[in-house]
Amino acid sequence: MSELLVPTMNCACFILPYPEEVAKKTGSAGMVYSIRELYLLLARQVDDSDPPEAAALREIADHYPDVNRGEIVERDSRGNRVHEEDDWDELTDEQKIHRGNVNAAIAVVDRIRYQLENAAFDYEMADDVTRVRRELSAIAV
């Protein structure tokens, strides 16, 4: 590489450029990475070795917005995405059914996660709880 590639950033993300050869192969100029996710990743790495440092990193992460592909995501107090406008009246019947099914599926997954949190204290179920959590993580959007 002949020139130094410097990441740029906005209020919520780093924009990490790809080297020219990689950019040509992938068709993408770079990667967008959330500043919040970076701090949360660092916190997870020091969870076992330095819990106070992990707590401090999580506190720092809370000062940065949640993002999805570079776009800031607004969430309500329950962690659900807040849509900018109510478009329910403009949806077709098929779209309304689809959105209802998606919301129902999210509610079921939230209930399963709640039950997993309660079951995590039962040592006999620890392996099953871990397996189900991994499967839920694998299908998470």
DSSP β-bridge partners for residue 16: 31
- pLDDT score of 26: 84
Q: How many helices (H) and strands (E) does the chain have?
A: 5, 5
Say how far apart CA 104 and CA 32 lie, in whole Å.
31
The residue ranges of the chain whose pLDDT is under 70 are 1-10, 69-72, 79, 83-88, 120-122, 140-141
pLDDT digits (tens, 9 = 90+) for 78-102: 767 776 656 667 778 888 888 888 8
